[in-house]
Amino acid sequence: MQHIVSILMENESGALSRVAGLFSARGYNIESLTVAPTDDSSLSRMTLVTSGTDDIVEQILKQLNKLVDVIKLVDLTESPHIEREMMLIKVEAVGESRAEVKRLVDIFRGNIIDVTDTTYTVELTGPGERLDAFLQSLSSISIHEVVRSGAMGISRGEKVLGL
């Protein structure tokens, strides 16, 4: 099963490589990983999407917690949460497909953020599944480039991952 792990850690150089190194050294899966400083510049917030059996995920959480730079973490998938991912996608937009892409972008509530005579660049934000669905809907369109941010997540309600 897929798990979204949100990690609050010291914003130190090398902190990211400690997490990445842990996953490769112990043979865990990383599906995506995003990281950036928070409003407190001494802290980084990382969202990591991984998968594995319950035993493996339990070990992943413990091993992450053991890293000296990690302050707190939460497995968001254990309780209600919001997941968002951003995708930038450059597609061919000529002839009939130009209108078709526009329609699809509207249906998926994306934005066309750059236009040339032959291409559209589309921005789409949402849960990973919605981005997947959008990509599938473009099956007859020629895709030039796809950039995905990887998932970010936050708990629903008043629950906070903070100091």
Partner 1 sequence: MELTGAEILVQCLKEEGVEYLFGYPGGAVLHIYDALYKQEDVKHILVRHEQAATHAADGYARSTGKPGAVLVTSGPGATNAVTGIATAYMDSIPMVVITGQVPTSLIGNDAFQECDSIGITRPIVKHNFLVKDISDLAETIKKAFYVATTGRPGPVVVDVPKDVTGATAKYSYPKEIKMRSYNPVTKGHIGQIKKAVELILSAKKPMIYSGGGVILGEGSGQLIEFAQSLGYPVTNTLMGLGAYPATDKQFVGMLGMHGTYEANMGMHHCDVLIAIGARFDDRVTGNLEKFCPDAKIVHVDVDPASIAKTVKVDVPIVGEVAVVLDALIKQIGLSESKVDTSALEIWWQQIDVWRAQDCLKFDTESDKIKPQAAIKKVYELTKGDAYVTSDVGQHQMWAAQYYPFDKPRRWINSGGLGTMGFGLPAAMGVQLAHPGHSVVCITGESSIQMCIQELATCLQYGLPIKILNLNNGFMGMVRQWQEFFYDKRYSQSVMSVLPDFVALVESYGHVGIRVEKPEDLDAALDAAFNQHKDRLVFLDVITDPDENVYPMVPAGAGLNEMVLV
Which residues fall within 8 angstroms of residue 100, CB to CB, at 6 or more apart? 140, 141
Interface map 44-73 toward partner 1 (x if CB under 8 A): -----------x--xx--xx-xx-xxxx--
Is residue 37 involved in binding partner 1 (CB under 8 A)?
no
Distance from the Cα of residue 125 to its chain's centroid:
10
- Residue 14 found at the interface with partner 1 (CB under 8 A): yes
Structure tokens at 105: 């972008």
Q: Is 11 in the site for partner 1 (CB under 8 A)?
A: no
- Please state the closest distance from residue 21 (CB atom) to partner 1, in A: 5
Tokens of 136: 């599938």
20 versus 112: smaller Cβ distance to partner 1:
20
Alpha helix stretches (DSSP H) within the chain? 15-26, 54-66, 96-107, 128-137
Residues that bind partner 1 (CB under 8 A): 9-10, 13-14, 17-18, 21, 25, 55, 58-59, 62-63, 65-66, 68-71, 163
